[in-house]
Amino acid sequence: VYIRFHVPDQAGTFWYHSHYSTQYCDGLRGVLVVYDPDDPHENLYDIDNDDTVITLADWYHFPAPKLVGIPRPISTLINGIGRY
């Protein structure tokens, strides 16, 4: 999903996440890429698309409120894909 908005004087790859309750550990997080329309190095990039952004996350198979104590992740997700 691409949404156009103006971000003055800042470009790069960032991430967003929730601070409400257990939303962060239940997966409410993702990437935010801000492109510089006047990037002087734009011609040096071989590839610059969604495939070049990698996210890593633990996966617990149960919502955080149902986990007791310090949980151990059951799987690892790479870009939302993993094995059980």
Q: Is 35 left (phi over 0), alpha (psi -120 to 50) or beta?
A: beta
| pLDDT on residue 1 | 66
Instruction: State the pTM of this model.
Output: 0.57
CB 56 within 8 A of CB 31: no
Going from N- to C-terminal start, the domains of the chain cover 12-36+53-82
| pLDDT on residue 50 | 66
| pLDDT on residue 18 | 81
| pLDDT on residue 67 | 78
| pLDDT on residue 74 | 78
- Those residues of the chain that have pLDDT short of 70 are 1, 48-50, 84
